[in-house]
Structure 1
Amino acid sequence: MNYSAAYETSLACFQQTSIEEIAQFSGYPVLDHQIQVNFLGQQFTVEHPSGRFEPEPQLEGELPIFARILILHYLANKSPASENGKFISYKELPGGGIYIQPFTNRAIRPMIQFFGERPERLIDVAKPMGGLPAKLGDAGVTLKVFPKVPVTLVLWGADEEFSASGNILFDGSAPEFLPTEDYAVLASFVVMTLKKYGEQINSADR
């Protein structure tokens, strides 16, 4: 998929948002027009208004363009809302029920395929990225992907009757911060990142 047009649109929205608004609403520290971003364990500054990332990603795998679009979308958001502590699934997001099957294929199934046999590994892999255990399922973990956007991954291991299963949950305030389609991309990227770290740990253990 060509994300170039979406990137240009997200950059324009970011540039139309003042640095004062970003400092007020994003939850990120701002110093001299530099926004200090922690994104899934990666540290960046985003310069305003240029939208330049430092260090500038050198390889697409380090911070794909769609991840930069998500970051710019979040930084341009001006909602004063806060987390409400209520879990909702993707199908409970506005219009989410229509796209639940693609969401399941892109995010939930890969999570189950990689972590389903040993759900406890999900917590271990997420910890270096700031993941905190959640008391859900056989293993659950919450990642603050953005300061106001937690994502909770839940797994149930297989037993004699049922195969492994899982879900990805959001805070009830989620619609205030990003459009529904962004949460599909976000959840998929979270799972992809966890899988990559998990594979690195497996290789180091051999």
Structure 2
Amino acid sequence: MTGKWIDISQPLHNGIAEWPGDTPFSYEVKFLKADTGSANIGMMATSTHTGTHIDAPFHYDDEGLKVDELPIDIYIGKARIIDVTGLDSVGRSDLELHDFGGAERILLKTGSRPNPDVFPETYTVMRTDIGPLLKERGVKLLGIDAPSVDPEPSKTLDAHHSLNDNGVFILENIVLDSIEPGDYELIALPLPIKGGDGSPVRAVVRKWEA
């Protein structure tokens, strides 16, 4: 494998938009080297779903897997980026004519979140018939460049459950604005948060060369 790694993560910074009502991200240097005599030491607070992150099934299912129980190999390997820009929602009919090329990870470029510092009024969501299609194609991970696979007001989180019921894990808030559709190697590892419902990730891709 050759090629340059491309960061597709939202940089975490004070002012990045959080999910409405959730814990905002904050970082500060709590102790200065001038005061400690040896090092600067930072302090961070955040929701586990701010910026680029994965959802563990426990996020929406009390009996679901937690972050530290997730199979790591899900988040490393061949991914195909598919451009679905302009669609309000994505389901079976939008994807079934696309060749997945045997990729077990599908990343959808929706273009519906242009500014990570502003929570979008609307964004592209997933329909519930997407889960069965992805399972039929052997897909294990769905990544999107929007804050959720479900609409912000949803309490039932139907798309989350459809994906989980079909063995598909979720990666949200990736940045694909400048990335062309095609095959890539993906690394998007969650932190090993014991009992966690989600985790920020540093997601990177590089062109896949067979």
Whether TM-score is above 0.5 comes out as no
Q: Where is the strand percentage greater, Structure 1 or Structure 2?
A: 2
TM-score scaled by length of structure 2:
0.25
TM-score scaled by length of structure 1:
0.26
> Using CA pairs below 8 Å that are at least 6 residues apart, which structure has the higher relative contact order?
2
Q: Where is the helix percentage greater, Structure 1 or Structure 2?
A: 1
